[in-house]
Amino acid sequence: MPRSGRGTPLKASPDTSWIRQDLPKAAHFSSRRKTFGDKMSSGVTVDDEVMHLFNDMKKHRKQKVAFFRLSDDKKKIIVDQGKHVMWDDADPFASFTKLLPEKDCRYALYDVSYDTDNAKNKEQLIFISWAPDSASIGKKMLHSTSQKSIQKAFDLTTEWQLNDLSDAELDALADKLSRDTVVRIEGRSVASK
């Protein structure tokens, strides 16, 4: 029996006769996986109307929350028509959570108004990714791989990932907004940090 350099017997090699010899090692699986990933991340673009709405939210303060979704052909991220919260809404955070679909994914922009222990009347535009646990795995995968396109277009510093309505709490949002202690969001008291 052959021996290794340390004098211990070498184990017999496993039977590999069943492996197809005409394929390079792992080429079939790795190339298939790479093609699938490249298609998903590079094939989705951001619609011009999305960018127009984003710029409008930064300048004019008409909409407090805007929702975005994948188009039916899964090639563009588009404005989710009729799904928005206006600045004059009495309870914008509650209105926002009511508009989150139960079994589908969405992206959102939220222009949050808040106070910290050091400053009053602060505002920050944040990006929100909604991928509920109840959505199908295919929808969540497509949502996740397409997210880079819209995030790159918006170039915002604050992102909030939500997977369940229980994640959509003011205290969790407060922790995302500021290094200072956030004491109020949309006029409601919070207990952050």
pLDDT recorded at residue 20? 53
* Mean pLDDT along residues 72-97: 94
> Which range (10-14, 38-42, 66-70) has the least confidence?
38-42
DSSP state of 20: -
Task: Go through the domains of the chain in sequence order and give each one's CATH number.
Answer: 45-189 (3.40.20.10)
pLDDT at residue 31 in the model: 36
The answer to whether residue 21 scores a pLDDT higher than 80 is: no
Q: What's the Cα-to-Cα distance from 93 to each of 22, 38, 39, 119, 133, rounded to whole Å? A: 60, 36, 36, 21, 21
Sign of the four-CA dihedral 158, 168, 85, 178:
negative
Q: What does pLDDT average to over the chain? A: 83
Task: Find the mean pLDDT for residues 71-96.
Answer: 93
pLDDT band at 37 (very low <50, low <70, confident <90, very high): very low
Q: Is the pLDDT of residue 118 over 90?
A: no
Work out the average pLDDT over 108-131.
94
For position 27, what pLDDT does the model report?
40
Q: How do residues 40-63 score in pLDDT, each as one tens digit?
A: 354 789 999 999 999 999 988 889
